[in-house]
Copies of this chain bind each other. A is one copy, B any other.
Amino acid sequence: MQLPYYDREIMDRFFRPRAVAIVGVSRTTGAGTFNILENLLDYGYTGRLYPVNPNAAEILGVRCYASVRELPEVPDLAIITLPRHLVPQAARDCAKTGIRAIIVVTQGFAEADAEGARLQEEFLAALRTAGARMIGPNTLGTVNVFERFSSSFAPIRRTEPLPTGMICQTGFFLAVDLAPSVGLGIGVDVGNAVDLGVVECLGYLADDDRLQVIAIHLEGLDRGREFFELAREVTRRKPVLVLKTARSAAGAEVAGSHTGSLAGEDAVYQAAFDQAGVLRVGDVDELDDVVKAFLHLPPLRGKRVAIVTATGGGGIMAVDACSDYGLELATFGEGTLAELRAIAPSWFQPGNPMDVWPATIGKPYPPTFAHIFTLILNDPGVDAVLCIGGAMATTGPDLADFIEAAAGLQRDKPIVWWVQGQSAPEIAARVERSRTVAVYPSPERAVRALARLYEYYSRVHGRAIDPPVAVPGLDAVAAGRRLGATGPGFMGPEAFDLLADYGIKVAPWGRAASPAEAGRLADALGYPVAVKAFGPGLVHKSDRGAVALDLRSRQEAEAAATSVLERCPDACGLLVQRFVPAGYEVILGGKQDAQFGPVVLLGTGGVLTELVQDVCLGLAPLSWHEAARMLGKTRVFQVLSGLRGKAPGDVDALLGCLVRLSWLVANHPEILELDVNPLLVLPAGQGCVAVDARVRVAGREETVGC
């Protein structure tokens, strides 16, 4: 079934056009002139080429046309590479001619200045009117290695196609034959992405069965929610890796002037990637490494790694790396151990890591190493082998041949090899012929690649769909009415009612206008109670002395109410609430993210929230499974599980609150921000109670509800 969000007929024009117009092709050719026509000819494109240049009759033997209107046919695609002020007219000409796919290579538009933004708007409008679609501006366009087509102004080296799809926001990844071990099948630089963007390209590339892995370089996304929903589907079929840059504040600012991207909040991207099963990589090295793992290696079906090493010290580095990346050391079976003992000297205790050096003393090194490697690879308790062979010029290449042969007999387990030193490239080339071995330049990178392989296998690939399903007891009608009645700005204490509409338990409460009324209300609620002042200046209530807790009599309640009002003369009124004496303090939050829409937050709550820095985000609405994953990533989860002998908290109820809150912010986009801090998690079986809540509602004029 075709994925959503793209039109195959249109996308094919960009990636496999049968006829192409190049508008603004230069007469200068040769190294360093970045001539697209020349590149296409060199690359071996076999479709029909129509250079458009009013000042030339032919370029490189290809007939030129003065205008797109004079072409003998309507080409599938036009590539525009004129100076920016000429682009709008050219785009109009293309559209009028009936060309439906246009790549605007030229830069200097919305990413540059106001005049550029105006020009961009102008030609975009012309294309939209004519029903044409565009990639760019400010782009290298597309590369299709299978069919030898590219719109790149940088020369593209002829390579064998590899099953990798690449979507990026800089042509660098396509032009500089980056990541030589990775290679490319189909790639696209989306540039400013003002029309077609990452979402359409992801759908198109994901549907191409020739591609096994999709790699994405991303500075920012306008359409985060669509990306998230599409990626969640794609990752079930094939791995999607993302290198998200513009992570830092400074980087985000620069991204605005590079491709006009709004980088957005990095933690939200992280949550979206994680929830969609997208593997986020930290840098170009990791992108390269992980793509290589997916291309070379079979799935990693467990986390038990064996380390076979010619250096004890290297084995220890690999053990550290396994610990860092959450993989385990395999335990060898008795049969394997017995065979290893038979090879090694009597004093040597074989184990994992297996230091082969003692066993090779006085024996021919490569075959002995390969024999040990084979024994361990075949142990049923081993899911993957990390091999540290040593790239000694005298023995390395022989060893590579032995390992290649051994690996060929067991194709179900990933094998990674750390090779370093002068002979490393030769060894890597030999051993990777087997296509079940991937070579890495450090133990950390080898283990990291295995870990991402396992992450994909265990969590993402082919998983049962676990979509968020509505939970019972959500009264969206009442909540909507309440939000409408409140109007824009901060909600007053009726925020508690809003939570209650979605089935989140709140401590019983009421409003009081005076200390006397507070006393009467306290009697009605039952003791102990808390008394709080509320109002626009009272967001951090405890810092302002606006809260009195654990009041045990009417007298105490009235006295506290008087004090609180004295300290907070700007209060709109008093709130009296049943006091919940104990519970684990958790913060729940929600907001509307500019890129990804409704988002929720969970973490350690209370006054120390900012200090503890223990929060996890998720895209709303959440499934129960997603809520549980979020909780599992926080430190407060350990506390709730029973720290220092204390009773465990009611985790099930907490998950329920989180899921309900996620529906609240998803169903009501007018809720701009929402904090429940603290939500008190009571001992298991006793539920959770919200004791403070703050809600900001959208609207033109923000006021504060009293």
Contacts and interface: CB of A to CB of B under 8 A. Distances in A.
Interface in A453-482: none
Contacts of A178: 420-421
Interface in A236-287: 245-251, 254-255, 257-259, 282-285
A426 interface: no
Interface string A596-618: 00000000100010111110000
Which residue among A31, A176, A392 has the maximum number of chain B CB atoms within 10 Å of its CB?
A176
A31 B282 CA distance: 42
A540 interface: yes
A112 interface: yes
Contact of A543 (B345, B353, B646): B646
Report how many copies the assembly holds. Answer: 2
A113 B116 CA distance: 75
Contacts of A443: 283-284
Contacts of A646: 543
A467 to B, nearest CB: 34
A320 B250 CA distance: 7
A320 B170 contact: no
A168 B258 contact: no
Contacts of A358: 107-108
A395 B170 contact: no
A442 B283 contact: yes
A175 B254 contact: no
A652 interface: no
A172 interface: yes
Contacts of A543: 644-646
Interface string A138-172: 00000000000000001101000000000011111
Interface in A500-549: 540, 543
B32 A365 contact: yes
B394 A329 contact: no
A176 B258 contact: no
Contacts of A121: none
Interface string A54-98: 000000000000000000000000000000100000000000000
Nearest to A441: B285
Nearest to A319: B251
Contacts of A254: 312, 315-316, 319, 353
A316 B246 contact: yes
Interface stretch (A553-561, A575-583, A635-643): A635-643
Contacts of A638: 611
Contacts of A173: 313
B32 A395 contact: yes
Contacts of A157: 393, 422
- How many A residues are at the interface, by size bracket? 35 or more
A2 interface: no
Given A84-B347, A320-B248, A612-B611, A394 B313 contact: no
Given A116-B347, A172-B311, A421-B178, A635 B611 contact: yes
Contacts of A154: 392
A675 interface: no
A355 interface: yes
Contacts of A645: 543
A649 interface: no
Contacts of A348: 108, 112
B255 A316 contact: yes
Contacts of A610: 643-644
A410 interface: no
Interface string A400-441: 000000000000000000001110000000000000000001
Contacts of A420: 176, 178-179, 284
B345 A392 contact: no
Contact of A444 (B112, B175, B283): B283
A463 to B, nearest CB: 29
Contacts of A216: none
A361 to B, nearest CB: 9
Given A283-B444, A358-B107, A611-B639, A250 B323 contact: yes
Nearest to A643: B610
Interface in A342-365: 345, 347-349, 351, 353, 355, 357-358, 364-365
A63 to B, nearest CB: 24
Interface string A171-195: 1110111111000000000000000
A248 B317 contact: no
A217 interface: yes
B248 A323 contact: yes
B612 A245 contact: no
A19 to B, nearest CB: 27
A366 interface: yes
Closest 7 CB pairs of A and B: A170-B313, A248-B323, A172-B311, A258-B312, A251-B320, A176-B421, A251-B319
14 contacts: A32-B365, A107-B357, A108-B347, A155-B392, A170-B311, A250-B322, A251-B317, A251-B320, A251-B323, A284-B442, A285-B441, A285-B445, A608-B608, A611-B638
